Structure 1
Amino acid sequence: MPNSNSSLDLSIETSTSKYTSTNLFDDNTVPNLSFKLGHSSSSNDENQSSIAAKNPNPNPRFSNAAIVADFNGDGKADKFWRNSQTGETAIWLMDGSNPRASTVTTVDASWDFSYADFNRDGKTDIFWRNKNSGENVIWLMDGTNIAAQASVQTINPVWTYNIADFNGDGKSDVLWRNTQTGENATWLMDGTNVTTAAFLPTTDTTWTSSVVDFNADGKNDIFWRNNITGENKVWFMDGINTSEYALSKLEGNWEANVGDFNNDGNSDILWRNYETGENKVWLMSGIFISEGNLSKQDSAWKSYIGDFNGDGKTDVFWHNQTTGENTAWLMDGTSIGTAAFLPATGASWQPNIGDYDGDGKTDVFWRNGETGEVAVWFMNGTTANGVFLPQIGTEWSAF
């Protein structure tokens, strides 16, 4: 258990705190949502569909259930909803323009969450962390049902976390970082059990981390960036063992986003300078970098990562948060193969990225924060086919 000096106790134990929930399997209605929900099918049906239908995209980055929400393992991205007023949660199992919706349970706003796949069943699980108490809870999901849930060790709130797979077993692990001391640690997971807990080297608090795989070995690595000095480095991970290498320095106000722009299995980096609007790509192969400069986009534009033509190469979707304009870049390594403007949506619409019909091409999920309207653009390269979905009250947020 954590003690008063914010240290991390890496003993493997189950927290004595209890996590209670209500209405776990009540899937008939979602209060305050403006449409009637159909009754969910059994988990056996979901198992059969997940075996029969998988996402055809050649790059697993776009279908990994630990990255993309897919609660029933059918290869179609799903949506997780939270109600900011009541704490209710709900899931839409997506099938193109026909979501199958169900309530899950109530979780108050002090709990943050991340997607994971702790048992390697190809169905997205949820890791919950209470930012006030430090409690941690795992939901192993089977469609819209919580197949199993467990409290794991409570960790002092000064520790932040990220989800990764450091030993390549296909089961999500947890990376811990102390925001006050710079200490780092990891939990290697098997379902709801912590099988190994270990400290990693300490890094100064000026460094921020991202989960990558620069050497395509199936084990997540850690990309570190110092936003003050511009230094960059990588930890190549093998379970709890690290090998550190320095990368090229990049000074200035650059932010990193992770993709795979040439479909070689190595994570690449999309760099964006949020002051100058400059953009560039680093194609990574271990510690070796091939760099390409891209077109500028001013600071009103926000980038989203996807694969809109299904070739396994990461593309970039741009949304102008001021004007509502949209554009897509179909990428080929460090080059923009095709760039095209898409219909403008208005600034009140916010995009989210996923493949909601399972055709291997990333789509755009739209949510209007003022009206509660919901829509999806089903993408085929730079062509969008838009469909409205049921309207949801603005107190609900989609993830």
Structure 2
Amino acid sequence: MNPLTQFKKMPILPLLIALALVVVAAAGAAGAAISDFNGDGHQDFVLQNGCKHKTAIWYLNNNVYTGSAPGPTLGFWFLVGAADFNRDGHPDYLSLDSGISPDTEIWYLSGRTLVGTAHGPSVPRVPSGWGWWGVGDFNGDGYPDYVLYNATTRQTAIWYLRNNVFISGAYGPTLPVGWSFDDSCDPWGYG
């Protein structure tokens, strides 16, 4: 499969947003995510300052910046992604512990206000060479799932969740030679 032909099948806006997030990550943001934070039907950017761990939400109308607002400060956690983990209609943050152990935590939000937290699923430690990459609903059950990536083998894996409970896992596709995920969500080199 030629990965370039797959881009032709993608809607242009998600592709542009994904490319913009790669640029943002390269510019020094510790993490970045995409979700609709103001309920206007348009995806917004969430950016995290790599030094202060503050987050900011950039509101977009398609590809046009319309304003921003501060989000919660993540302390010593790093932003991995955003999705509605508790199914309340508001995106939540998935964050990664800044310590030695690669623990995750879900930060439940109402708009941009933190309303609670929960530790990520109780699963075995992420295998050596693997790192957290993102979040999305891969099995269509309405619950976000974790994406893991091994930069050495270019292998992907999906951990299926129900809220913050691990249900099962499966390997995803191996990326073609010369292609990789951006590793900005793996600040300690786990993957």
Pairwise same-fold verdict (TM > 0.5): yes
Identity %: 22
Task: Answer yes or no: is 1:242 the counterpart of 2:165.
Answer: yes
Q: Residues 31-42 of structure 1 correspond to what in structure 2 (within 5 A)? A: none
Aligned-partner SS, 1:152: coil
Q: Answer with 1 or 2: which has the greater Rg.
A: 1
Classify 1:170/1:78 alpha carbon distance in 2 versus 1 (closer, same or farther; 3 Å): farther
Structure 1 CA distance, aligned partners of 2:111 and 2:87? 14
SS of equivalent residue, structure 2 residue 105: strand
Tell me which of 33, 40, 44 is aligned to 1:114. 33
8 A contact 1:235–1:242 mirrored in 2: no
Scaled by the length of structure 1, the TM-score of the pair is 0.33
Give me the whole-angstrom Cα distance separating, in 2, the residues matched to 1:229 and 1:78: 23
Instruction: Find the partner of 1:220 among 141, 144, 165.
Output: 144
Query: Partner residue of 2:66?
Result: 145
1:271 to 146, 164, 174: 174
CA distance in 2, matches of 1:173, 1:231: 26
Query: 1:69, 1:231 → 2: CA distance?
Result: 24
Unmatched tracts of structure 2, length 5 or more = 1-8, 182-191
Report the counterpart of residue 54 of structure 2 in structure 1.
135
SS of 1:218's equivalent in the other structure is coil
Separation (CA, whole Å) in 1 of partners of 2:19 and 2:156: 34
Structure 1 residues 308-354: Cα deviation after superposition (integer angstroms, max 9, x where no partner): xxxxxxxxxxxxxxxxxxxxxxxxxxxxxxxxxxxxxxxxxxxxxxx
Find the aligned partners of 1:234 and 1:244 in 2 and give their Cα distance.
11
Residue deviations 1:282-311, cap 9 Å, x none?
xxxxxxxxxxxxxxxxx4xx489xxxxxxx
Deviation at 1:192, TM superposition (A): 0.9
**Contact 2:136/2:147, CA 8 A, preserved across alignment:** yes
1:213-267 Cα deviation digits (max 9, x unpaired)? 232123221244567899976433333x31332436xxxxxxxxxxxxxxxxxxx
Report the residue type matching 1:243 in the other structure: F
Report the equivalent of 2:45.
126
Q: Map residues 11-90 of structure 1 onto 2, 5 A cutoff.
A: 67=14
Alignment partners' CA distance in 2, 1:139 and 1:130 = 13
Normalized per residue, the structure richer in helix is 2
2:125 match: 204
